[in-house]
Amino acid sequence: MTRLYWMRLLALVFSCVTFGLVAHVGGLGGGVGAWCMFCWTFSFIGTLLIFLVEIFDLTENVKDFWVNFSVTFSSFAALLCLFASITFSNSFLRGHQNDDVLNHLIAAAFFSWMTTLAYLLEVWMARSESKCYMASTLGHLLVCQTFVAGLNFYFISNPVSYTDMAGVRWCMAVYCICFICSFGIILNFMLCGLERLRWQKYFYLSATVMYFSALITWPVFKFNNLYPSPIYPPESCQKGLGLCPRGMLVMVTVLTALNFLLYSISLCCSYCLDSLTEEQEYTVVRETSSVQDLYPAQLTSEIQHHSSNPRMHLLGYPAGHLRSYQSMNQPNLLVCTHRNI
């Protein structure tokens, strides 16, 4: 059994204990309490399904999909439990007269943080054990970008604050477009098992520019006295996460800046990866040309039959578009074949 197996088991136990303790004291009132319970139960049910599928070895025909799916789910579960731990600790550990209830809630907060830690460790271990795109840095950045956009939708809609001016509607369009594209890329990697999309770096460039425009536009229209904003009663500050409507607007600004930073990092990583790939391609193609001059006939034959020849040994992927093979009966012969992605 791998380390991932035991880490999933810990996350399963901790999440079960967390919502069990909360249910024991009668549950949590309000939308925030329901959201916390959803995070814990969703993580528990998803992890339980992954656990059972892997125990009974039901992934024989969908290995590529399953590796990407399990890593993606663990990443989202880690972020959900992190958000639930922060909001639960901030909203429900104060103002209780009953010591027994308070003790149960403190224990629930502790196990919620332990659940978060277990999922984070699982994601970290998956980087070394799961050789898939969603376990890479760019894959984790995609998950964070979609999660931050989801939080933005909550804060911008509670209360609704994107229908009054055209500039604010543009910001909402930016959040929606980038969220849909990022989530679509995640689904593409899970369902198709590709390593990287050709147009992905151009999407990161567009998303970075769009988020930069939203980062400038949102504060101008929401915190400038030249543009009128609705007046909310004082009791509205007690709803949701305990933030006033103006605090919600500040959170939208912070999350917009965070996603701008995440997309900027993705853009830099993507261009650096392309530069490295081009350099490796040049080196491998130059070496292959030398081999082809020495063994032109055998090289052509083995390229045509590399997929069915048991005496060809796969060396790896020296570049993003090339597969490197070595002839078992002639070890000095290097064969590189083009691979479409």
pLDDT bracket for residue 93 (50, 70, 90) = confident
The pLDDT score that the predictor gives to residue 5 is 85
When pLDDT is averaged across residues 228-248 and rounded to a whole number, the result is 60
C-alpha to C-alpha distances, 291 to 118, 153, 197, 287, 302, nearest whole angstrom: 50, 57, 30, 7, 13
pLDDT, one tens digit per residue, over 297-318 is: 554 444 444 444 444 444 444 4
- What is the spatial distance between Cα 104 and Cα 293, in angstroms, rounded to a whole number? 75
When pLDDT is averaged across residues 132-137 and rounded to a whole number, the result is 87
Entry pTM = 0.76
Cβ neighbors of 339 (< 8 A, separation 6 or more) are 321, 322, 323
The pLDDT score that the predictor gives to residue 320 is 43
- List, in order of start, the domains of the chain with CATH numbers: 1-131 (1.20.120), 136-278 (no CATH), 295-338 (no CATH)
Query: What number of other Cβ atoms are within 10 A of residue 322's Cβ?
Result: 18
Query: What number of other Cβ atoms are within 10 A of residue 283's Cβ?
Result: 12
**Coil, strand, or helix at residue 148?**
helix
- What is the spatial distance between Cα 289 and Cα 69, in angstroms, rounded to a whole number? 39
Q: Hunting for tokens 């800046």 — which residue is that?
A: 257
Does 341 or 252 have the greater pLDDT score? 252
Instruction: State both tokens at 226.
Output: 């030249």
Instruction: State both tokens at 298.
Output: 């055998």
pLDDT, one tens digit per residue, over 98-111 is: 778 888 899 999 99
Q: Residue 195: which of 321, 69, 45, 57 has the closest Cα?
A: 321
pLDDT bracket for residue 232 (50, 70, 90) = low
